[in-house]
Structure 1
Amino acid sequence: MKTFKLKRLEVVDHDDEEIEQTNIKLLDGLIINREDDKGQWLIEAYTDTSYLNYFNKLHGEQGEIMVQATITKESNEPATFITTILGINEIGDKINVLFIGTIIDRRKHIIEDLLTDLIEQGYQGRELLVKFKELA
Structure 2
Amino acid sequence: MKSFKVVELKLEHENNFIILELIDGIIINNEKPDDPWLIEISTSPDFKDILKELVGSELDLLVTITRHSNEPARFRGVFNELNEIDNALSLIFNGRIIVQSPNYAEDLLSHLIDEGYEQEKLLNEFKAMMESKAEIKTSDD
Q: Which residue of 1 aligns with 2:12?
A: 12
- Is 1:46 aligned to 2:37, yes or no? no
Match of 1:80 among 74, 81, 101: 74
Q: Which residue of 1 aligns with 2:61?
A: 67
> 1: distance between equivalents of 2:103 and 2:16?
22
Say whether the 8 Å CA contact 2:35–2:94 is kept in structure 1. Answer: no
What runs of 5+ residues in structure 1 fail to find an aligned partner?
A: 118-136
Q: Which residue of 1 aligns with 2:137?
A: none
What runs of 5+ residues in structure 2 fail to find an aligned partner?
A: 112-141
Q: Which residue of 2 aligns with 1:96?
A: 90
> 1: distance between equivalents of 2:106 and 2:34?
23
- Is 1:26 aligned to 2:26, yes or no? no
Q: CA deviation at 1:21?
A: 0.9
Q: CA deviation at 1:10?
A: 0.2
Q: CA deviation at 1:39?
A: 5.3
Cα distance 1:109–1:34, how it changes in 2: closer, same or farther (>3 A)?
A: farther
Aligned residues: 110
Residue by residue over 1:43-67, the C-alpha shift from the partner in whole angstroms, topping out at 9 and shown as x without a partner, is: 111011222212112226xx31000
> 2: distance between equivalents of 1:81 and 1:57?
19
Match of 2:53 among 34, 53, 57: 57
**SS of alignment partner, residue 107 of structure 1:** coil
Moved over 4 A (4+): 111-114
Q: CA deviation at 1:37?
A: 1.8
Q: Which amino acid aligns with 2:98?
A: I
CA RMSD in angstroms comes to 2.2
> 2: distance between equivalents of 1:94 and 1:111?
37
Q: CA deviation at 1:13?
A: 1.5
> 2: distance between equivalents of 1:30 and 1:3?
7
Say whether the 8 Å CA contact 2:20–2:44 is kept in structure 1. Answer: no
With the length of structure 2 as denominator, give the TM-score of the two structures: 0.70
> 2: distance between equivalents of 1:89 and 1:54?
14
